[in-house]
Amino acid sequence: MRACKISLSPFFLNALFLLTASVGATGLYFVSLSGSGWLSLIWVVWILINYLFLVRLKVCRHCYFYGQSCPMGWGKVVPRLTSQGCLDKFSQLTWPFIYFGSFALLPQVLMIISLIRSFSLLLACLAALFGLLGLVLFLLARIFCCPTCRMKPSCFLSRLSFLINRR
């Protein structure tokens, strides 16, 4: 395994995640379904609670980087939230699929359905931007974080390796 000489700041990755979430929330707000403002608010609360707490409690506690510096910058924060789990449980977790699926798919699908029902240039731009930011976030994680990660053999992102070539 060759190490990547360029690294990304955990701040940059987290800021990109929050920017992507903001675009998704804005897109959900403009979705032409009834109660779209509430849908956007509920989705933002769901994402923030998961991003800040549940993923850390359910996933990070079972990671090799628990208590250490990790590519996303959460390894040293998690010990303040929960006790260390078991490394063997990391590969058995389904929570990342549920969380990242709801993060990536729900806004995109609802925006596309809304565009089919009644086209809006603003919503089309938001849907395209959300898709592009999500793809960039995924590729940056796979290119800069995964090659040197010790959890790669059991990580849920590695299960998605068919989407891009492994480095």
Q: Where are the domains of the chain?
A: 10-163
Q: Measured between alpha carbons, how far is 165 from 158 in angstroms, rounded to an integer?
A: 11
> What pTM, to 2 d.p., does this model score?
0.81
CA distance 128 to 107: 11
Query: What is the model's pLDDT at position 30?
Result: 86
pLDDT at position 128 is 97
Name all contacts of 105-109 with Cβ < 8 Å and 24+ positions apart.
Answer: 106/43, 107/24, 107/25, 107/27, 107/28, 107/43, 108/24, 108/134
The pLDDT of residue 125 is 96
For residues 3 and 29, give the distance between their C-alpha atoms in angstroms, rounded to a whole number.
Answer: 42
- What residues of the chain score a pLDDT lower than 50? 1-4, 166-167
The confidence score (pLDDT) of residue 24 equals: 93
Report pLDDT for 1. Answer: 42
What is the pLDDT, as a whole number, of residue 20? 94
Which pLDDT score, from 0 to 100, does residue 7 have?
Answer: 66
pLDDT for res 167: 46
DSSP for 22-37, please give it: HHHHHHHHH-SSTTHH
